[in-house]
Amino acid sequence: MEQQKLTMAQLEQMQGEAVYSSEGEKIGTVEEVFYDEQTNAPEWIGIGTGFLGTKRVLVPIEGAALGDDGITVPYAKEQVKDSPDVDGDEIGQDTEGELYAHYGLAYSERRSETGLPEGGRGRAIDQGLSREDDHDRGDTPSVVRSEEELEVGTRQVESGSVRLRKWVETEDANLDVKLKRETAKVTRQPMDEVVSGAEIGEEEIEMPLHREEAVVQKQVVGKERITLEKDTETETETVSDEVRKERVDVDEDR
């Protein structure tokens, strides 16, 4: 099924909404719409971006789709960023030809008197001012007053490092241990009997005595596990920069 092209009514409701690339990256926000003066059909979306300064960025409405959080266009962010510059509120034939070539679109051979495909020059509608067509506003002259706004993002940088190291120190360890040893004692038992073959004389007997002694061995035993973990803290930082604002004065010649 062929995708329906966005209508002017839909685009009027999208002022200030986000515009996303085909990869899902945010390009900027909807600021204005360029329409064909003869058909009144929207042709180009004017995008306000934070990284392009005052450069006007246009992207074709052809292939754009509405989503829950904005408009998605079938082009990469870098391709939109590098689009040709557009000055003023109208698109001439040469400029539109450059835009068509930049986005790889076929430039129609069916041209009107102005030389643009099927309908003539494109004119911008600033949705914040809700401009009407020339025949509706009686050719009333007007200008668009613009301002720069700060758009701040974040990036992750290394702020330092933490090391966990261990070393070996030697200390004296004392442990009480019970040791056994053998001792000798003399036991006398009365006798009153004749011992055959016994002779009176000197005699010596010997009995070995034993004792326990401590034998020291060492083994490595894990006592605790120490790990390094990271916590994330959020703080508020105020950033400052200069922004430019256009002012409008009325000079009346008498």
Beta strands in 37-179 (DSSP E): 42-48, 57-60, 65-67, 70-72, 90-91, 122-126
What is the pLDDT, as a whole number, of residue 6? Answer: 86
Give the residue-averaged pLDDT of 179-197.
88
**Contact (Cβ atoms closer than 8 angstroms) between residue 145 and residue 247:** yes
* 87-99: pLDDT as tens digits: 666 777 888 888 8
pLDDT over 70 at 188, yes or no = yes
DSSP 26: E
Inside any domain, residue 234: no
pLDDT tens string 225-248: 999 899 989 999 898 888 888 887
User: Angle at Cα 155 formed by Cα 150 and Cα 161, nearest 5°?
Assistant: 140
- Report the number of distinct structural domains present in the chain: 1
In this predicted model, what pLDDT tens digit does every residue of 168-185 receive, in sequence order?
999 999 999 999 999 999
Quote the percentage of the chain above a pLDDT of 90.
26
Residue 248: inside a domain: no
- 40: containing domain: 8-132
Q: What is the CATH number of the domain that holds 20?
A: 2.30.30.240
